[in-house]
Structure 1
Amino acid sequence: MFRTARVLAGSLLVAVTLALSACATGPTVRTDADPTINFSQYRTWGFYQPIAMEQSGYSSWVSERIKEDVRKEMEARGYRYAAEGADLLVNFHADVQNRTSVWSVPRTDVQWVYNYRARSYVAIPFWYDETMASTWREATLTVDLVDGARNRMVWTGSASAPEARQRKPEEKLATLDAAVSGIFARYPHRADGQP
């Protein structure tokens, strides 16, 4: 019984530590770019048609907020919006997947055995690794920049974070804003070619 309580306390400590570290660091951002592309050639931008998140034929409050955030980020980098014939086309989509982490925790315990020579019980220590697992849902937002003339993706960025449940609408919007700004913080190019 005491061993079970120690295991549960250790599991809770690990889970809380993982949750706090995820909150403190924000989304995990990854980017990739086509190394053969000269990004200084791009001056205008527009939205790819149809946007992957709106392939069902309608928009949502989430896709509209992402569009607003993308517009701010692109304009802050000197790109001009063009509804038709833009140099760069922005596409985005979101995905939620179940994730599992598995790790080992070193443990030690004592086993009591009867020793006939000593005519008493003797404690024998032993060591083992206990396997722990944690399952959560991870949300990922991906933004792709596509060369409008060649219809070829030239840059992509994604932001991933554990999905938080039961949040207020303002918190959800702040999370979307943080994801888009985190992605574009790793986009090093500007329309004027300046870093």
Structure 2
Amino acid sequence: MKTLHPTLLLTFFAVVAAGCAQRSGVVVGSDQRGSANSSAGAGMYASTTNGPDFSKYKTYSWASQVTNLQNGVYFLNDLVFKGMVRDAVEHEMAAKGYTYQPTGGDLVVNFRSFDQPVEITSNENLGTDYWATNEPYAYDSQRKVKLDKGSILVQMIDRKKGVEVWQGYASGLTNGDAFDKNHDKVYVAVGQIFKEYNHRGDKL
């Protein structure tokens, strides 16, 4: 039986991997408050004098529903899945140079999942208890965001101003008709979301 040369083997596996990535159907996007900038890419907004100054954000805190260990309603009633997404987001925030504070962070970070397609135009589309009564944050997207089934949405709020300054999402995390909660796929999807976030909390 003939064996393939190592270089051919590597090429073969690269082609297979690329094909799998295409078939995964995961779509990633983001929306940043500020003026539209066509050079920033689809769904991206560039910070301008009218937008937020991201250089001032050094720390972050979780929204109350993220820290509520009994609240799994926004994660398909699966607290293990919720913890998985939280760990992935926490990892990406640390990689971007942000420091976590239990309260009073420059940014308030919230996230949730959607197993069915949804169009987000205001806080009403996010759920009545997604933000607590002491978190009167305004949804400040520049456009409607349509998410396919199997989506993870991550949002950042300027705590002092009480307005959303950035959101990113990944859609298409499905296995048949069910949300694909595979650990590695969730981590990869959250990592792809944060590739859209072009800011850091440190000076690197």
TM-score, normalised to structure 2, is 0.58
**CA distance 1:140–1:166, change in 2 (3 Å):** closer
Match of 2:106 among 71, 87, 91: 87
**CA distance 1:23–1:164, change in 2 (3 Å):** farther
- The answer to which structure, 1 or 2, has the higher relative contact order (CA under 8 A, 6+ apart) is 1
* Structure 1 residue ranges (4+ consecutive) displaced by more than 6 angstroms after TM superposition: none
**CA distance 1:175–1:148, change in 2 (3 Å):** same
Report which of the two has the higher share of strand: 1
Deviations 1:85-124 (A, max 9, x none): 000111001112269xxxxxxxxxxxxxxxxxxxxxxxxx
What does 1:39-54 correspond to in 2, within 5 Å? Answer: 39-51=54-66, 54=71
**1:189 aligned residue:** 199
How far 1:163 sits from its partner (Å)? Answer: 1.5
**CA distance 1:180–1:50, change in 2 (3 Å):** same
> What amino acid does structure 2 have at the position aligned with 1:27?
V
Aligned CA-pair RMSD:
3.2
What does 1:136-175 correspond to in 2, within 5 Å? Answer: 138-161=149-172, 163-165=174-176, 172-175=182-185
Indicate the structure (1 or 2) with the bigger Cα radius of gyration: 1
- How many residues align? The count is 136
**CA distance 1:59–1:43, change in 2 (3 Å):** farther
How far 1:162 sits from its partner (Å)? Answer: 5.2
**2:33 aligned residue:** 34
Q: Which runs of 5+ in 2 are unaligned?
A: 1-18, 35-50, 119-147
Aligned residues: percent identity? Answer: 27
